Structure 1
Amino acid sequence: MHAIQLMCNENRHEVYVFNNDKFVGVVTARDIIKKNFSSLEEIRVETLLRKIAPLAIDTEFEDIAKHLIISEFRSIPIEHEGKIYALSKLSLLKIMDKSFADKKKIKDVMNFPYVIESNDSIAVARSMMRDLNISRLPVIEDGKVAGILDILDVLRAVGERHRVKLGEVRGEKIDLGSVEVSSFMQKNFVTVSQDTSLIDAINEMIKSNVHAVLVVDEDKLSGMVTIKDIFKIFGRSVGSTYINVSGLDVVDEFERSWIEKRIESMLEKIGKQTNVRYIFTHIDKHKKEGKRAKYSVKGRLVSDAGTFYASYYDWDLLRAMKVFLDKMEKEVIKSIEKVRDTHRKRLIGV
């Protein structure tokens, strides 16, 4: 697949797709990793394409930052004079006001990441990245940090195995279970200590052109800070819970007020557990049967705990909205409790 080759050669996590010179969307490394395939011939760009609209060059800085905070992408397309340019989070980090990081140390913002052993297989790494929705894994060997494995390293392994198979039997299943993580991990990585200032860590990320730093004390991994973590902090500093409800034109004023209060109430509850960055909700009114119409509600919530989806439909709009919000809240809390349980087990050595 040409997209994988382009990503690996240019060290890009996204490629922009054009049709007759017209920008049509984005394909991401993460989406490729999530795709179940036995050979690269099975992958088609159209099945992975995310259709997004580019931002105008004159978009306000804060609005661009908001899009990057909300987005799962490492870059967003910017349109200028008919051409499309990629603006990355790292590029934005270089020029943004960093006062939000004042007086903060790495230990204030770091998280303990999922890790992998150097002798584990690329297949295991791919499964972890796909199931846990992560893009990188610190690599441990004999209890010490030996490297870091990025999602692009996994794609390089996929491409390498694909070339090997082409020399044998075309279309044969790609076997990543026999390839060790140590063969593709990055042995050069940036480290900081827990007492390093966040500003110094940001400057090191910019200087080294990396999206993550590992927190290492006495050769032991203490945590990790990613560019995504930094943007979350920036998001909180500008007040980053963005509420977008579309389809309100089909409801009356009472229903509108009730819906807005219910959403705010749910966000207040979830906000005690995790930072919510964005919630999008869409209401559809479907064809009437007799005097009644059926309503569907669907949406997406982006938080520090992950991205969550829910939907529901009912003859009663307010009931549909209530069940939708209840489902969303339960999904978020369930995920947070699962992570906490994993950390508890890790602490007690289970």
Structure 2
Amino acid sequence: MAMTCPFFRLPVELRLHIYSFAVLHNPSITIGSAELIGSHPDIIHRLYGGKRNPYPGIPENHEPVVEACYNASLLCTTNPATVPLSVATPLPDESHEHPHTAHLALLLVNRQVNDELTSHLKILKNSRISLFLAYPHGLHVCRTLTPHLLRQARSVHIAGNYTSRTFCSARAACVVPTGPKIKYNGGAAPDSTTQLGELIASLFGPHATHAVQKMELRIYYSGEDSYSTVWGDDASPTVIALRNIYYGEVGIEVWRGRFGTGVYLTARPTVDGERKRVVSTTWRRLEEGRPGEPECGSWIVDPEWPEWRHEAVASDGRKGDLVVRATPITGH
């Protein structure tokens, strides 16, 4: 005789209360990585003590961070988050090999609980979270450690830097990679191009699996000749986003400056629900790096975060900025 799971003997109302408790009620979650700062023995103990191992796919001497709140330092590249190590520094709660939240644990019970919890999340729209991801390392952590959080997201916000190692703007050809090489745990860098494409396709692709109200992508391309990288590099996050957004209203703001280029891309479902893509583009002037101006690259963190607007609202810019009106594109 088949045994009945004790959980299903509970009244439906009580099970729904348990589901509600398991759903994270924090309005925001920030995911990134933080560098460990301390003596060499302290860093080694932090990485390898107990049953821990360095998390693969992020820079050496870094650890993944998932905070149940908004933390701008995890997104910032000019003043990034760190973990100062000392005797008083608490150790991680558990090995990164077993990142089981209550929500994920319930999803793994069986198919019925998974279906009930998934359906319950669709009802609890007001309790869904805003997910903030640092690019590329926070994106990697989300895709490999906490992909289930996308089920609870009502909005996704991605911010970071992009520097091409293969695209040469002068010749528009592939060249030998230059610049400092980042060493990664596990010896291999993550495939950020694929990870970003899969995430965006899951939100706005032809077979989207997650319904969100809005996605924001803020990417800073450093260098005087960075504008051509935005559109000419096949691995550019802007190109990847446009390639994987099949349906929705897309707004693009291109901020051009002396020291770099910022691209702010937003996507949201069409108001009428029609399967089409509508794109509008604005070119603005990015003022940074000179006395009295913001630090180069600090543009990637929106000062209004964690607040965001559901409707498409253009950023404040200088008078005379060029605006290209929305153009509907049906199909893809």
Tell me which interval the TM-score lies in, with the shorter structure as reference length: under 0.3
Q: If each structure's helix is expressed as a fraction of its own residues, which one has the higher value?
A: 1
TM-score by length of 2: 0.23
> Looking at both structures, which has the greater relative contact order when contacts are Cα pairs under 8 Å and sequence separation is at least 6?
2
